[in-house]
Amino acid sequence: MAGLELKNIQKTYGKVEVIKGVDLDIEDGEFVVFVGPSGCGKSTLLRMIAGLEDITGGELYIGDKLCNDVEPRDRSIAMVFQSYALYPHMTVYDNVGFGLKLAKTPKDVRDQKIREAARILKMEHLLDRKPGQLSGGQRQRVAIGRAIVRQPEVFLFDEPLSNLDAALRVDTRMEIAKLHADLGATMIYVTHDQVEAMTLADKIVVLDAGVVQQVGSPIELYQRPQNRFVAGFIGSPKMNFVEVAVEAIGPDAITVGSKDVASLRVPAATAGISVGDTLTLGIRPHDLSPANTGAIVGRVAIVERLGNETIVNIELASGTAWLAVLDGDQALRIGESLALAAEPAKAILFDAAGKALLPTPA
Amino acid sequence: MRSRGSIIGGVAAIAATFVVFVIPFLFIILMAFKDKQQSALRDFSWPNGFHLWDNLYEVVKTRNWMMITAFINSSLITVVSVTLLIVLAAMVGFVLARRKTRWNGLIEFLILAGLMIPPAVVPTIWLLQGLKLFGTLHGMILIQVAYNLPFSIILYRAFIATIPRELDEAAVIDGARPLDVFFRIILPLLWPVTVTNIVVQSVGIFNDFTNPLYYLPGNQNATVQLTLYNFQSQFSTAYNLLFTNIMLITIPPLIVFMFFNRQIVAGMTAGAVKG
Amino acid sequence: MTAAAAPALKMQRRSLYPGWFYLPAAVVYSVLFLAPTFASLYFSLTRWTLFDATFIGFDNFAQFFREPFLIQGLVNTVIYAVVTSGLKVVIGMALAVMLTSQIMARGYLRSVIFFPVLVSTIGVGMTFTVLMHPTQGMINQALALFGIAGPGWLVDPKLALFSVALVDVWKGVGLATVIYIAGLVAIPKDYYEAARIDGATRLQNFIYVTLPLSRPATATVITLSFIGGLRTFDLIWAMTKGGPGFASDTVASVIYKQYQAGFYGLSTAGNVVLFILIAVLVVPLTMFLNRKQGHE
Amino acid sequence: MTKTKLFALMGASTLGLMMTANAVYAQQSGYLSFLIDNGPQSVAVAEAWVAAYTEKNPDVTIDIEVRPGGGEGDNIVKTRLATGAMADVFFYNSGSLFQALNPAQNLLPLTGEAFQANVQDSFKSVVSAGGEVYGAPFAPAMGGGIFYNKPIYEELGLEIPKTWDEFMANNEKIKAAGKTAVIQTYGETWTSQVIVLADFFNVLAEDPQFAEQFTANEAKFATTPAALRSFEKLQEVHDADLFNADFGAATYPDGLRMVAMGEGAHYPMLTFGIGAIAETVPDHIQDVGFFALPGDSADKNGLTTWMPDSIYVAKTTASPDLAKDFVSFVASPEGCDIRNEAVGATGPYMIAGCELPADVPPAVSDMLPYFQEGGQNAPALEFLSPVKGPALEQITVEVGSGIRPAAEGAALYDEDVRKQAQQLGLAGW
């Protein structure tokens, strides 16, 4: 078993910088998720760890071993691909056993390992089939089985669920979580879906434009995003943002307001902020609730009634569109005016550069 | 589903193809059954007697059983050079489709040039001579490989582009070295195009006449097409033997065809048409 | 590849697609094809007896273009290539449409049409030379049964080239048909169904769906048979040797005759001329075909 | 060179030397490869020689390789010589084609061999270069002229023509009788040249300097009336509509069969065709006669002759002594006898001591007077000049098929020979 250490990892294609110096520590046995929008470099980073891409600069340690120049097969890793990448001309049995065969594992040992993996994944009945005869979920299992059988120290998953339908995705996600619990191996998982990230990860790494935006536990990222990007990316539905002016600066709090938002006192770090500055106010849709005296007033544009909750799309005075997720069923008419109250403690202010002005934790 | 129109169309098609395509072959076969006098008439008539065995024996034993040598040589040349072609062309097609470098343009140009440029015979002979390959089966095999590589590469390259790269990567993660990836993953997946290559190239090489004529002199090196050519004047008054010879040397390509008949279209779909 | 920097070295060492995969093919191809071709560029500028070569500049090219029948040979070559590739496209397409429809005896038809592809050019040439004999040939004897006086297929100077071209089509149309069948099978059924919902007739189906969507197949057939037609030699040699007189000479047969006569320099110069002819015609053609393809 | 006494020694086997030489013949051993053209006669005679020779020398193995004839064969011979891959012993033409082989560099001189004493000097001259003799004749001399069908001549009461006009008059009578007067076989193009080439005696009769001037680029076919006449004769027979219906596709064997069986009256051909007739239609060999291609004057009626092809030894041979011994065997009276046995006698031999059997076919006996005292003959142009254009056979097909008039054909041929002259590096071109 092994942890990983990335020191100032860089990747350039010609003059284009794709990964701009990533530092990261991954503990042994940790489940780490790389998340970010497409093109952020998360897959590239994973492939560099796998050894499928060359590392332009920096150092990659797996365990204590510098692995920049180590062949993929010698990195004690296994990888599950987005498209599963099963070998179409081989049976499931051979697919799973291919790596062992290449490693010249004796036939009986190989057979035992393949059957063990099949048992874990409940796919013993599929062993004689070819990938073309399998459903998407079954293929996914085979791909995982192929990884398990190698008994790697690090599992790498490259968007493994994106080709599955919604229901299957939830099931498989849980299976992967269970697998992690059972095997206790280090797992690195790439996704663009923050729900997967939140549900699976011990530690999430948010990437954007080749730069690590924040590393932390799911709750930490949700509650204390370090910048506007992370705040917007983590959490579903997305956090609402609006520009506001600083009206007053109090101890450990800033009072802000605009034509959209009546004065709101938000706990925040105040250093370097002065009255009259423009900041961005972020409030999560779940943190809004209907209140006649609410600080935020808008016009109802769309209403989605789900029964247990109601999702309202409102248009603020400035024209900014916000979402609110309200408890219970709310019969709202389109076009009517709606006032919402926000819980100031859960609101976050961002400075002009997008940095979160988080209050010092109590 | 079948309307009367389509039955009439079908019968017409069968009749037309019979006249255009089958009759010439029947002619060859009938001629091979005739004796010398009757074959001299060159008409489409029923043989007066059964002379096929005599004709076959005559053709095969001509010039010291040269036909036997020729069949061995031609088969050897065809099998070895097609095997080499498949492996070498697939290797080139694989790297060419996968790895984009500034050399790709040059390589593509050379491939196209190989399709277009007529080979320079005499300098080639001079070169083979220098390599001690002139007049040897090895030399002939390498010539066939060199001349037919471009077409095989083109067939392969288009198809390799449709094989997902993730397969290569999965194999690498599984511990495969480049040769493992190629021989255990890519080559097996190329089978449909390989069939096309086998059929087209083996028929072409087996039926090649010009190249053995120049690069493979000597009786011990005779190939089947050369026997036909050599016997042409000897059999110039014996059409029965000439056509027996033609019939005899058409059998091996026919076997290849019957073997792969069903898979030819699939291979074409995979390779040639995707372009 | 020359960069000495460490990353470049790493890349070489670990590439999944190693450059040396090119090596075996490159060695065979360079030694046996490229090197002689380059040598021929030099020899085309010499008067060459095989035993020694005298440098004479571009005289061979001048001579080649003075060959009384070269111009006709050039024209013949283009005619031959256009006729054979044109007929292969039209007939191949027609046969492919027929063979992908609900026609009876499909297996038989498909095999029969492909079968001539398997026979050697020399064998086909010899057979058809016999069949096309003006008086004793089966073709004219058959025509005579219907009271038609058959033409001198291979001996009439106006007809000889076309007769050979017809045999070429006979031999090669099977391959074109298979390529087209592959192309047609690859057209998704949805298009035909959509067209049917739009009320298209069979003919409209063919014009608006089959024809445009089988363009990649057409490109393949045209390119292969056009290059083949321009280079064609075996069949012409087996059937007419360029005759009667010079009536069916093509550039390739003119080159071969110079070669036979021992004018090696001249013949090699002809090779260069043929290459240029092919390049001038085929390169724009493929570019045209591929560009159209790109639009789809 | 004309009216040579080439065959003065013919029939007079005075030299017993050869026989003595044979008697003390040492047994040979080793291996030879032997490249021959694929004509049926070449194959038959080569096999007979090899069989006889290896019977005498059981330790010798001789492997016969066969190449195509015509230009293709020329090419193979040249290519194999140039690349040092030639068989030890091979058949090839004498005269201008021999010169193009670069003999000094590629062939083993046979000048000093004992058997050369019996070979006619006139033959040696066409296989010599730079003072060395490189070949030995393996076939009889030939004449180029016209085979005719004797029964037709008897039936129609025709006389052997001595002039071109008489020939054409005969043709008209034959045509009037509903028969094919002249057979042409353009299915094999080389046969189309015969009328033009065989007319060369008549050219020289009019213009004795033509060969020298032609070689020196001073005389042209198109501008020398006597030479142009050769092309015109070809055109005349075409224009008179005398040919067999399938002349464009018929082949050489067809032509021989037709003249032998009386399907046509005349077939312009070289006399080596006699052997093929004897082989393919032996029942009719007595029906075929031969006469020289007639000129315009009965006084000047003579035969254009061809030297036989020669057997050569490649310089690269691994066993020169064995090769020379085999050649001397072929060029011995014994060799001639074996040849007569295998393929029949087709003309006078160039080797002293070689006799024709008593019962030669009529076509051969018709030819002999031209070679004897009082007879007239002249070698074909290719033995007097190295300049021979490769496209002659296509041009004569065109003239003979009415595609191109004689004058244009002759001019085109003049153009064609220039390349050859330049390639040979002759002065004046």
Instruction: Kindly state whether residue D243 falls inside one of the protein's structural domains.
Output: yes
Distances (CA, A) of C90 to A51, B215, C56, C84, C197: 52, 37, 46, 10, 28
A256 and A161 belong to one structural domain:
no
Higher pLDDT, B148 or C4: B148
Residue B218 near chain A (CB below 8 Å): no
Q: Which of D68, D76, D83 sits opposite B129 (nearest CB)?
A: D83
What are the start-end ranges of the H helices in chain A? 42-50, 92-102, 107-120, 136-148, 166-183, 194-200, 218-223, 228-233
Minimal Cβ distance to D78: which of C50, C68, C135: C50
Q: How far apart are CA B94 and CA B172, in angstroms?
A: 15
CATH classification of the domain holding A127? 3.40.50.300
**Same-domain pairing of D59 and D179:** no
CA–CA separation, A92 vs A132, rounded Å?
Answer: 10
C-beta separation of D323 from D334 below 8 A: no
**Cis peptide bond upstream of C244, omega within 30:** yes
Mean pLDDT, rounded, of chain A: 89
Both tokens of residue B114?
A: 């190989």
Q: Do C154 and D248 touch (CB under 8 A)?
A: yes
C267 with C258: CB under 8 angstroms?
Answer: yes
User: pLDDT for D168-207, tens place per residue?
Assistant: 999 999 999 999 999 999 988 889 999 999 999 999 888 8
Among the partner residues B134, B214, B233, nearest to D39 by beta-carbon distance: B233
CA distance A71 to B173: 9
Q: Is the Cβ pair C50, D79 closer than 8 Å?
A: yes
Quick check: A68 and C7 CB within 8 A?
no
Of A198, A233, A268, which marks where a domain is finished? A233
User: Residue A361: inside a domain, yes or no?
Assistant: no
How far is Cα C65 from Cα C74, in angstroms, rounded to an integer? 10
A189, pLDDT greater than 90: yes
Find out whether C64 and C270 touch, Cβ atoms under 8 Å.
Answer: yes
* Portion of chain A with pLDDT greater than 70, in percent: 99
Q: Do D162 and D97 lie in a common domain?
A: no
DSSP secondary structure string, C140-184? HHHHHHTT-----TTTSTTTHHHHHHHHHHHHHHHHHHHHHHHHH
Q: DSSP assignment, residue D163?
A: B
User: Which residues of C fall within a CB distance of 8 Å from B200?
Assistant: 175
Mean pLDDT of the B142-165 span = 88
Lowest mean pLDDT among A45-49, A184-188, B90-94, C39-43: C39-43
Q: pLDDT higher for D156 or C62?
A: D156
CATH number of the domain to which A307 belongs: 2.40.50.140
Contact assessment for residue D366 and residue D285, using Cβ atoms and an 8 Å cutoff: no
Contact assignment for C220 to B228 by CB distance below 8 Å: no
Distance CA C16, CA C11 (A): 9
CA pair distance B153, D386, nearest whole angstrom: 48
Q: CA-to-CA distance for C167 and C164, rounded, in angstroms?
A: 5
pLDDT, tens digit, 9 for 90 and up, residues A242-254: 999 999 888 888 9
> How near does any CA of chain B get to the CA of C131, in Å?
8
Angle of CA points D262, D265, D266, to nearest 5°? 130
CB D274 within 8 A of CB D214: no
CATH of domain B53-270: 1.10.3720.10
Q: Is B213 on the interface with A (CB under 8 A)?
A: no
* Residues 96 through 115 of chain B touching chain C, CB cutoff 8 Å: 98-99, 107, 110, 114-115
Give the span between the Cα atoms of B75 and B202, in whole angstroms: 9
ω before A237 within 30° of 0 (cis)? yes
Residues D134 and D156 grouped into a single domain: no
A237-259 burial code (b ≥16 CB/10 A, e <16): eebbbbbbebeebeeebbbbbbe
Distance to chain B for C83, nearest Cα, Å: 19
In this structure, the answer to whether residues D59 and D101 fall within a common structural domain is yes
Cα A273 from Cα A359, distance rounded (Å): 13
DSSP state, A360?
Answer: P
Q: Is B230 within 8 Å of D66 when comparing Cβ atoms?
A: yes
- How many residues are listed for chain B in this entry? 275
Provide the β-strand partners of residue C141: none
- Please give the pLDDT value at position D17: 37
User: pLDDT, tens digit, for every residue of A126-174?
Assistant: 999 999 899 888 998 899 999 999 889 999 999 988 888 888 888 888 9
Q: Are residues A214 and A324 in the same domain?
A: no
Is residue D78 a part of any domain in this protein? yes
> Based on the structure, what is the number of domains in chain A?
2
- Which structural domain, as residue segments, surrounds residue A258? 240-350
Report how far Cα C21 is from the mean position of its chain's Cα atoms: 30
- Residue in chain B lying closest to C178 (CA): B265
Instruction: Convert the pLDDT of each residue in B228-270 to its tens digit.
Output: 876 776 666 678 888 898 899 899 998 888 888 777 776 666 5
Which domain CATH number covers D117?
3.40.190.10
What digits encode the pLDDT tens for the residues C112-137?
888 898 888 888 998 898 888 888 88
pLDDT at B78 over 90: yes
Contact criterion met (CB below 8 Å) for C61 and C273: yes
- Can you tell me the distance from the alpha carbon of C122 to that of B243, in angstroms, rounded to the nearest whole number? 12
Tell me which H or E stretch contains A34. Answer: strand A31-35
Contact A146 B174 (CB under 8 A): yes
Spell out which residues of chain B touch residue A50, defining contact as CB-CB under 8 Å.
169, 173
The answer to whether residue D270 is domain-embedded is yes
User: How far, in Å, CA of A18 to CA of A209, rounded?
Assistant: 7
CATH number belonging to the domain at C74-295, selected among 1.10.3720.10, 1.20.970.10, 2.50.20.10, 1.10.357.10: 1.10.3720.10
For residue D149, the tally of other CB atoms under 10 A from its CB is 26
Residue C111 has pLDDT above 50, yes or no: yes
Which chains touch B (3+ CB pairs under 8 A)? A, C, D
Give per-residue pLDDT as tens, D402-412: 989 999 999 99
Predicted TM-score of the model (pTM) = 0.80
Q: Does the residue A360 lie in any domain?
A: no
Assess whether D243 and D112 both reside in one domain. Answer: no
Please report where in the chains the tokens 């900014």 appear, as a residue: A320
Q: Do D66 and B219 touch (CB under 8 A)?
A: yes
SS3 content of chain A, % helix, strand, coil (to 5): 25, 35, 35
Domain that holds residue D329: 17-141+307-355
Domain match, D315 and D347 both: yes
Residue C82 in tokens = 């256009």
CA distance C252 to B155: 26
CB distance C274 to C65 below 8 Å? no
Mutate to test the interface with C, among A56, A69, A74 (most CBs of C within 10 A): A69
Question: How high is the pLDDT of residue C286?
Answer: 80
Cα gap A153→A187, rounded to integer Å: 9
Position B97 scores a pLDDT of: 87
Q: Partners of A314 in the beta sheet?
A: A300, A322
D208 inside 8 A of chain B by CB:
no
How far does the CA of residue D64 sit from the closest CA of chain B (Å)?
8
Task: Kindly indicate the confidence band of residue A212, based on its pLDDT and cuts at 50, 70 and 90.
Answer: very high
Read off the pLDDT of residues A115-127 as tens digits, 9 standing for 90 and up.
Answer: 999 998 888 999 9
Last residue of one domain, picked from the residues A185, A201, A233: A233
Do A227 and A258 have their domain in common?
Answer: no
End-to-end CA separation in angstroms for chain B:
35
pLDDT of residue D2 exceeding 60, the answer is no
**Alpha carbons D14 and C10: distance in angstroms, whole number:** 90
Which residue from A minimizes the CA distance to B167? Answer: A85
Q: How confident is the model at residue B188 (pLDDT cuts 50, 70, 90)?
A: very high
pLDDT at D107 (0 to 100):
92
